[in-house]
Amino acid sequence: GAVVSQHPSWVICKSGTSVKIECRSLDFQATTMFWYRQFPKQSLMLMATSNEGSKATYEQGVEKDKFLINHASLTLSTLTVTSAHPEDSSFYICSAPGTSGGGEQFFGPGTRLTVL
């Protein structure tokens, strides 16, 4: 159980375009999901907490108008990188809390974004 999928696994786009990344909980419902970004050789940086049926909570310094998050259902959250630029190239990972309530997280496989 506790499987999280992400799509696409990698994407290459031109500067100025928008990219949507989907995160799905496959065998459980997730009212909350987390979105992280990870640059090479660096740790996870929490970008935002996605909440089903309400607005996402963004971490300090993360532009909410640039990184649009929608949590449309109990199994799907999407992150849209708008007007992407080369500095947005990174590894984007979503996660969902486990159902035990203990705080463990189950991560999706990640999406590697390259902006040319």
What is the spatial distance between Cα 7 and Cα 111, in angstroms, rounded to a whole number? 7
What is the spatial distance between Cα 99 and Cα 111, in angstroms, rounded to a whole number? 24
The β-bridge relationship of strands 90-97 and 111-115 is: antiparallel
Query: Residue 47 has which token pair?
Result: 């970008």
Per CB under 8 A, 102 contacts another protein: yes
Supply the DSSP symbol for 59. P
Give me the 1-30 binding string for another protein, x by CB under 8 A, dash otherwise: ------------------------------
Per CB under 8 A, 35 contacts another protein: no
What is the spatial distance between Cα 11 and Cα 94, in angstroms, rounded to a whole number? 16
Q: Which is nearer to another protein, 67 or 92 (CB)?
A: 92
Per CB under 8 A, 49 contacts another protein: yes
Per CB under 8 A, 68 contacts another protein: no
Query: Residues interacting with another protein, by CB under 8 A?
Result: 32, 34, 42-44, 46, 49, 93, 97-98, 102-110
